[in-house]
Amino acid sequence: MERLKLGSRAARDVRPKARPAVQRRPPPVLGAIAGSTSDEPTVTLSKRAVERLDQGHVWIYRSDIAAPETLAGGEVVRLADERGWFVGKAFYGAQSQIAIRLLSREDEPIDEEFFARRVGRAIALRDAIQPDPGRCRAGRIVHGEADLLPGLVVDRYADCLTMQTLIEATDARRELFASLLEKALRPRAIVERNDVKVRAYEGLAQRKGVLRGTAPGPVEFAEGEVRLVADLLEGQKTGAFLDQAENRIEAGRYARGRALDCFTYGGAFALQLARRAEKVTAVDISEQAAAQGREAAVSNGATNLEFKVANAFDLLREESARGERYDTIVLDPPAFAKNKASLDAALRGYKEINLRAFHLLERGGVLVTCSCSFHIDDETFERTVLQAASDAKRTAQVVERRGAARDHPTLLGVPETRYLKCLILRVP
């Protein structure tokens, strides 16, 4: 058959015909979502709110919704755009400025089976990350919005669980979630750690205690080759700072010579450094934290680890003035920027400690520097560390850019789920 010449009449005649016009959705039914048979309350979203969801976010603020006056906090609602078309299903909050937290973009029942599936998928991800659950590990099982379970945080410490229900909707369902976790994981105990300030934004009181089983006491768990102990009822966060677990193990790989760990808390970073470094000095302002660190050092046989009770800012300044030098330094401070109003002061703090660390580093030394302040993004943090290096007349190689451990996933389009920054730098 003779090939048709491009652009010839014959060639144009064999082109596929144009597709028929896309059929428009039917107009909405007044007072309801078109095609809906659900009796869930409907919340109407502004055009800006719909665009926000389309861009991947899962939170909608109160200023961008229209809700029934009688709608109670904690309810599951249907979301509609201003034309009445279905957008998704969500938790509604009556107190917080975050009024809508998306659950699903599908028109599906939000019932016990729905939550069981979500919890099961969250557990499956962690099993893929840590395929040897027989070891006495610790890690996050449910990471709130990032696991599409807004306001729910669950951590595992060996054979025990801690749970936080941080919004009205999850708090109202805490017994349901405890039962689902008990059925899925068969823990020895489930501890409630709802003694966090963020609950105040939802009008919720602080509370802690044992939901299932009996009070577990101190729970020992492994982080790499290091053994740690968590107090699930009294320890920081839900017992320990699990988001830094992989960063601590990685920092230990770079440790050598003389090492300094600032803001050490219970010494989790320092214990990893002590496995390779010749001598480690761990610094914290809390005597109680230092005492916990000393106990951990003894149980791990870390005889090259010393704990000092001091203000890390003061110690860095004094060590720098004396001309001290270190081969490895870790900076893991608490969040300096609690809100936008404290941003400038926080950046000055980050610059100060990194400046002193660069002064203290030997040539070829490694600095592991972190920020858990959400209000300071990756670019701003790196720029601040660069300014510190420049003022110290040092050049910094980026060896690794890291974030929270893999069991703390993030959502594309939701920057709030990415809060932890960790830079591993080398001074050439």
Catalytic residue at 372?
Answer: yes
Cβ within 8 Å of residue 88, ≥6 positions away? 53, 78, 79, 102, 103, 104, 105, 106
Query: For residue 323, how many other CB atoms are within 10 A of its CB?
Result: 8
Q: Which amino acid is at 212?
A: R
Question: What whole-number distance in Å separates Cα of residue 91 and Cα of residue 101?
Answer: 5
Query: For residue 185, how many other CB atoms are within 10 A of its CB?
Result: 17
Helix locations, 2-111, DSSP H: 9-13, 47-54
Orientation angle between helical segments 112-129 and 174-185, nearest 10 degrees: 50
Q: Residue 255 has which token pair?
A: 């440790």
Q: Mapping DSSP to helix (H, G, I), strand (E, B) and coil, where does residue 259 land?
A: strand
Sheet containing 76-80, strands listed edge to edge, beginning at the edge strand earlier in sequence: 59-61, 98-104, 86-92, 76-80, 42-45, 65-66
Torsion 378-384-390-392 (CA) sign: negative
Q: Residue 349 has which token pair?
A: 């703090």
The active-site residue, picked from 262, 370, 372, 422, is 372
Spatial contact of 49 and 57, defined as CB atoms under 8 Å apart: no
Catalytic residues: 372
